[in-house]
Structure 1
Amino acid sequence: MPVARPESSDARIIAHVDMDCFYVQVEQRKQPELRGLPTAVVQYNEWKGGALIAVGYEARKFGVNRHMRGHEAKEACPQINLVQVPVARGKADLSTYRNAGSEVVSILSRKGRCERASIDEVYLDLTDAAKAMLAENPPERLEAVDEDALKSHILGLKNEIGSDAKANVREWLCRSDADHRDKLLACGALIVAELRMQVLKETEFTCSAGVAHNKMLAKLASAMNKPAQQTVVPFSSVKGLLESLPVKKMKQLGGKLGTSLQNELGVNTIGDLLKFSEDKLQELYGVNTG
């Protein structure tokens, strides 16, 4: 069968919005007295204190992680608050979290098309909104840039010792001599910062985001700086990002295929993988997988 070849996506602006410890945030909104305290959410199965499915950042400081059960978490952090997932008809009832996620989606969808990847993560196509901003009110004309946008992490942007990081971000966002792709990305970063603040205002939830030219890069970026931050991937930084990225970190390469690449081809990073031609990979793994 022929392989579908997508058109160039350089001009697309895609955000991946990832809620920070979402189940914990939902429980802390229901029980405000838990805010700022070590908290984790455990599964309805109570064996050994239940399996942890979300761990708040306050608890992580004590070494608590999602591979633990409740009893182990208590040993690592005696003051931790363990909140059990609601149960309905003998099974975990995730409707509370799913509905809270829908609140977030309704806000994000004001600026673009949403694709819900899970209860706590959303892909957002901001291409049209970014193009509209660039045409009507480009960043280079802005007198003031939102504080949260100035906290963006721009991959490849060098901050010299003693330099003002926010001033450097502002300069990058508002460059009049930037190429079209970077100008669209700058618009996307401004829009995402505004949306994240709106989510916080309306739902009390914080989220992190990655802004890039496709879904894969946006998802990678959203995990780089958490919580409550955003990371932007300019086209010029893509090669450097992928060069040292562990192959198992790439979507769809975390399982057997990634293990096969490591064992059979000696591929440990995406940089290693890029040394193989598409034809060679198709020869080894079949046309579509290759």
Structure 2
Amino acid sequence: MSERVILHSDMNCFYASVEMLHHPEFAGQPLAVGGDPEARHGIVLTANYIAKRKGVKTGMALWQAKQVCPEIIFVPPRMDLYLRFSKMAREIYSEYTDKIEPYGIDEAWLDVTDSKNLKGSGMTIAREISHRIKYELGVTVSIGVSWNKIYAKLGSDYKKPDAITEFNRSNYKDRIWRLPVSDLLYVGRQTNKKLKKLGIQTIGDLAETDENLLDSYFGKMGIVLWAFANGWDEDPVCKEGYEAPVKSIGNSTTTPRDLETDLDVWIIQMALAESVAARLRKHGFKCKTVEITVRDNGLSSFTRQRHLRHPTNITDEIVTEAFQLFKDSYKWEHPIRSLGIRAADLVLDDIPVQLDLFGNQEKQEKLEKLDRTVDEIRRRFGYFSIQRAAMYQDKVLSHLDAGTHTVHPHSYFHG
């Protein structure tokens, strides 16, 4: 049996790179994606390398980024755009293997073992993928090549941007074992502190530590990390299936006025459900869980969720679940200031579904067809070109264009 060939592909400064493509006027300038640039609140989701060199870091508050880099340009996130680029990258990967495992929206492992005879060595395939991503999508990737997932991930992190690094049997001790132990996947801040107390500074230190000592301090996870440090990772790359590359898509809004009745809530929830469902359909997802967030004008808030009997991307089904969750949870002690809806546990929309004996398949198909018709009309003529009848019962609330609000996906593993 031939040794596995695993790639880990990581799109460099992904959100910022995509934004730079769409904003050529910002070429050569520091740019960060995140938060609400107008209100100057929120955090940096990612920054380009120009901004990073000036001290801007992911997770930094926008005002902090402005302090370290006064000339920085902020742009709001456009998750729909990033999802589209992520999908195009996976289409390129799929020409080399069907064993593709997303790691968030911008990274993926690829098992190209079975492609060697046709496509060449792991390094050859990595170079070809890197070239295609750059010239077909306009962004760069860093790719790690190794015989296991952990070392392949280390390879993509080893040199950035636009680089390819191979860790093989002959060089891994010289190159990997010198790296800080914190570089190893799953070694978080607290684990790193505990390892340092044991005198373990590098991945090599960890690899050569007595496994029984690690077991006594960390339990099973200590043995797992020791095996990872030694390159003994047999975890397979999951074959591309029905899991979505993001965990959830949601939308929330501070309402145009305080909500005081169930009808007020229904109108806003309908607008939010329409926007979330439309994005699910646009990106080929369905959700298995609906979650709501409610905040009253006294600033008390809560979140509730419900698992569905079958995955859906139908507006009526999402808003019905959301409104029932609200009715079951809120007693109208105060008017409501803010509402949110999140579609979670996403799967691809072509997942096989067992027919529900108590459901109405024909009705579902009609509702989905209706939704897609509305999507097309709004795409061509604008959001307000077609509205549901309920929206006309309050002119102030129905004026909310939920389609322009930021939709926040959470990565499958990072969230």
TM-score by length of 1: 0.69
Aligned with 1:282 (options 212, 215, 220) = 215
What do the CA deviations read for 1:168-227 (whole angstroms, capped 9, x no partner)?
Answer: xxxxxxxxxxxxxxxxxxx11111111111112221111111111111111111112111
Matches of 2:220 and 2:45, distance apart in 1: 38
Aligned with 1:120 (options 106, 120, 138) = 106
List runs of 5+ in structure 2 lacking aligned partners.
224-415
Matches of 1:82 and 1:288, distance apart in 2: 40
1:247 aligns with 2:181: yes
Contact 2:37–2:76, Cα closer than 8 Å, also in 1: no
Matches of 2:125 and 2:176, distance apart in 1: 26
Deviation at 1:234, TM superposition (A): 2.1
- Matches of residues 252-267 of structure 1 in structure 2 within 5 Å? 252-263=186-197, 265-267=198-200
What do the CA deviations read for 1:241-280 (whole angstroms, capped 9, x no partner)?
Answer: 33322222211122433332222x2222222222323344
| Worse overlay, 267-276 or 113-122 | 267-276
Q: Which position in structure 2 is the counterpart of 1:200?
A: 134
Aligned with 1:188 (options 122, 131, 134) = 122
1:19 aligns with 2:8: no
Matches of 2:219 and 2:51, distance apart in 1: 45
What do the CA deviations read for 1:131-152 (whole angstroms, capped 9, x no partner)?
Answer: 4445xxxxxxxxxxxxxxxxxx
What secondary structure does 1:219 align onto? helix
Aligned with 1:224 (options 150, 158, 165) = 158
Matches of 1:223 and 1:274, distance apart in 2: 19
Aligned with 1:215 (options 128, 132, 149) = 149
1:130 aligns with 2:116: yes
Q: Which position in structure 2 is the counterpart of 1:59?
A: 51
Change (3 A) 1:61 1:249: closer
Matches of 2:218 and 2:70, distance apart in 1: 50
Deviation at 1:99, TM superposition (A): 2.3
Identity of aligned residues (%): 33
Question: If you compute each CA radius of gyration, which structure gives the higher value, 1 or 2?
Answer: 2
Contact 2:40–2:63, Cα closer than 8 Å, also in 1: yes
Change (3 A) 1:256 1:131: farther
Q: For this pair of structures, how many residues does the alignment match?
A: 222
1:100 aligns with 2:34: no
In terms of fraction of residues, the more strand-rich structure is: 2
Change (3 A) 1:78 1:258: closer
Contact 1:15–1:192, Cα closer than 8 Å, also in 2: yes
Q: RMSD in angstroms over aligned alpha carbons? A: 2.4
Change (3 A) 1:287 1:202: closer
Contact 1:247–1:254, Cα closer than 8 Å, also in 2: no
2:14 maps to amino acid: F
Deviation at 1:123, TM superposition (A): 0.8
Matches of 2:55 and 2:192, distance apart in 1: 28
What secondary structure does 2:186 align onto? coil
Aligned with 1:236 (options 161, 170, 176) = 170
| Worse overlay, 17-26 or 33-42 | 33-42
Deviation at 1:230, TM superposition (A): 1.0
2:209 maps to amino acid: F
Matches of 2:141 and 2:207, distance apart in 1: 32
Contact 1:20–1:206, Cα closer than 8 Å, also in 2: yes
Matches of 1:96 and 1:262, distance apart in 2: 41
TM-score by length of 2: 0.49
1:104 maps to amino acid: A
Change (3 A) 1:216 1:40: same
List runs of 5+ in structure 1 lacking aligned partners.
1-7, 87-93, 135-186
Q: Which position in structure 2 is the counterpart of 1:32?
A: 24
